[in-house]
Amino acid sequence: MTKVGVLALQGDVREHAAAAVALGANVTLVRRPQELESVDALILPGGESTTIDKLLRAFGLRDLLMERIDAGLPVLGSCAGMILLARDLVDGIAGQQTLEAIPMTVRRNAFGRQVDSSEVALTWLPDGSPMHATFIRAPWVEAYDPEVEVLATAGDPESGVHAVAVQYGRCVATAFHPEISDELRVHQRLLELVPA
């Protein structure tokens, strides 16, 4: 059975764990290096990217995680998790670090403040199907290298259209929260990236 880790330092860990279990995965909560070593895929939950960044370093997980991603570990990051996967940030706080896993620039809090959370009807570009997405103080992808695949976009006449779901190698990132809207296609994509 595929062993999916959920980084459990801060954020909506339980919802991601439930999505992975619904897809038949075995879930491990990851707080220690040994737990990170043992998983076949990892989910970086939504929450607060500045806090998760600090805790990753405090728990001695950041370097190991960067090594595992380099070696091909499939990773899904939602919202704060997307921020953590970005190579570059706009509106990060002083000293904020990322895992530099996807060659993209992500703008934090791009879609507005917490109270501006929204529900948006998107198109899931891999198969053209509709997808209902929940954005909570969400980032967007401001720029990305040509090798990055765009899985969904969102926008309005004011802000323009931005990538809000992307994939690069075995890393998938969404600005929205598939784990809280009964949406399993994004987690399914992560599981499909686990080598047989």
Residues at the site binding ligand GLN, with contacts judged by CB under 6 A = 46-49, 79-80, 83, 108-109, 136-137
Rounded to whole angstroms, what are the CA distances from 33 to 57, 68, 72, 122, 190? 11, 11, 17, 37, 21
Q: Nearest-5° angle of CA 139, CA 143, CA 147?
A: 115
From 16, 162, 171, 177, the catalytic residue: 177
CB of 136 to ligand GLN, least distance (A): 4
Strands 3-7 and 26-30: parallel
CA angle 141, 146, 148 (to 5 degrees): 55
Catalytic residue among 15, 162, 171, 179: 179
**Shortest distance (Å) from residue 71 CB to ligand GLN:** 26
* Closest distance to ligand GLN from the beta carbon of 93 (Å): 9
41/136 with CB nearer ligand GLN: 136
Q: How far apart are CA 162 and CA 59, in angstroms?
A: 33
- Is residue 189 within 8 A of residue 179, CB to CB? The reply is no
Residue with Cβ nearer ligand GLN (40 or 165): 165
Comparing CA positions, the residue from 154, 184, 190, 186 lying closest to residue 169 is: 190
Q: Which is nearer to ligand GLN, 40 or 139 (CB)?
A: 139
Q: How far is the CB of 108 from ligand GLN (least distance, A)?
A: 4
Is 100 noted as a catalytic residue in this protein?
no
Choose between 40 and 84: whose C-beta lies nearer to ligand GLN. 84
Question: Which tokens in the block code for residue 145?
Answer: 């290298």
Positions marked active-site: 79, 177, 179
